[in-house]
């Protein structure tokens, strides 16, 4: 039980830190707050609603991992290092792909809801 408590505290601390320091994460929280009620209007089934909300949360998870990578890389060196730059670019690419997936899922759900598919 103690392990679960400590893990919960660590999770909360990580989320607070991300909210304080990362504009992109704050924007994604705003998107999530809009996406939750929209998912119930767009999604016709429970699974569709879950997918719509889930892909937004997935983007947030990838953003958190990217932020962790960037902060660790900055801790190693602030110098313009080509390899660290590549690592940061790869993290950004992961966020970009997650955003593409989220956009595709929302687009498909909207197309289905409007009866275009």
- The catalytic position among 22, 28, 44, 63 is 63
Cα–Cα distance list, 12 to 6, 17, 54, 84, 102 (Å) = 10, 9, 19, 28, 25
In 3-state terms, what secondary structure has residue 29? helix
Look up 63 and say whether it is catalytic.
yes
Residue 42: how many CA atoms within 13 Å on its side-chain side? 20
Which residues does the annotation mark as catalytic? 63
């Amino acid at each position: 039980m103690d392990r679960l408590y400590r893990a919960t505290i660590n999770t909360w601390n990580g989320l607070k830190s991300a909210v304080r320091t990362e504009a992109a994460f704050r924007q994604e929280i705003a998107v999530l707050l809009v996406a939750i009620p929209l998912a119930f209007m767009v999604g016709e089934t429970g699974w569709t609603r879950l997918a719509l909300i889930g892909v937004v949360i997935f983007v947030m998870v990838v953003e958190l991992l990217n932020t962790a990578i960037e902060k660790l890389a900055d801790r190693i060196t602030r110098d313009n290092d080509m390899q660290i730059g590549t690592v940061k670019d790869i993290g950004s690419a992961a966020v970009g792909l997650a955003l593409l997936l989220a956009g595709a899922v929302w687009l498909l759900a909207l197309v289905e809801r409007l009866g275009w598919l």
